Amino acid sequence: MDAKTYNILILCTGNSARSIMAEAIFNRLGKGLVSAYSAGSHPKGKVHPYAVDLLRHLGYPTQLFRSKPWDEFAAPGAPAMDFVFTVCDDAAGEVCPIWPGQPMRAHWGIPDPAAVTGTEALRRAAFADAYGRLYNRISVFLSLPIDSLDHLALKAKLDRIGETKD
């Protein structure tokens, strides 16, 4: 990626786990290259404690993460997005607001770790698995020569990233 800073919005229904983790990963791995944000169509109002624990354990600052509605990013004065990624199947099927700037969109579905039941170890493992999948996809995205790809080629690559079986 070149000197341009790309704005990225990661969407999920609840904005409590997957989209929050993706926001953290994008901002760490793409520091200086991207500004990532997350939001939800029906935000839970709080970040899942297992997501916070995992991110804190991995050295991410977690104080500023919050569960918020996607309307914040469609409002006047919001940053114009270059890319919008959905990370849950529900959000991918919903009618999204009209995003200023007509960003490129792709679906990168990841199983919901918050929906996993069972022991605490099993549930925490689901969060670690979701994190790993997101990390891999985001790493591939950040390695793309975005400025040298035409629109159709870039869209195909984004879709292919979402189809990976991590």
CATH of the domain at 60: 3.40.50.2300
DSSP one-letter string for the chain: --SPPEEEEEEESS-SSHHHHHHHHHHHHTBTTEEEEEEESS--SS--HHHHHHHHHTT---TT----BGGGGTSTTSPPPSEEEE-SHHHHHSPPPPPTT--EEEE-----GGG--S-HHHHHHHHHHHHHHHHHHHHHHHTS-GGGS-HHHHHHHHHHHHH---
Domain that holds residue 112: 6-155
Q: Give 90's pLDDT tier (boundaries 50, 70, 90).
A: low
CA distance 42 to 86: 13
Four-point Cα dihedral 117, 40, 127, 129, nearest 10: 110
pLDDT at residue 48, as a whole number? 97
Q: Give the bridge partners for 38, in sequence order.
A: 10
Mean pLDDT value across residues 118-127? 97
Q: Please check whether residue 25 lies inside any domain of the structure.
A: yes
Which range is least confidently modeled, 73-77, 143-147, 151-155?
A: 73-77
Threshold 0.85, pTM exceeds: yes
- pLDDT at 104 exceeding the cut of 60: yes
Q: Please check whether residue 43 lies inside any domain of the structure.
A: yes
Q: Please check whether residue 165 lies inside any domain of the structure.
A: no
Higher pLDDT, 55 or 88: 55
pLDDT tens for each residue of 137-152: 999 999 999 988 998 9
pLDDT at residue 61, as a whole number? 93
Count of structural domains, the chain = 1
Q: Please check whether residue 163 lies inside any domain of the structure.
A: no
State the catalytic residues: 12, 88, 96
Which tokens belong to 54? Answer: 């995992």
Q: Give 88's pLDDT tier (boundaries 50, 70, 90).
A: confident
Q: Please check whether residue 164 lies inside any domain of the structure.
A: no
Strand bridging mode 34-40 / 83-86: unpaired
Non-local (6+) Cβ contacts of 149 within 8 A are 157
Q: Please check whether residue 15 lies inside any domain of the structure.
A: yes
Q: What is the mean pLDDT of the chain?
A: 90
Q: Give 96's pLDDT tier (boundaries 50, 70, 90).
A: low
CA distance 127 to 104: 27
Q: Please check whether residue 100 lies inside any domain of the structure.
A: yes
Q: Please check whether residue 130 lies inside any domain of the structure.
A: yes
Q: Give 136's pLDDT tier (boundaries 50, 70, 90).
A: very high
Non-local (6+) Cβ contacts of 47 within 8 A are 16, 17, 20, 62, 65, 66, 67
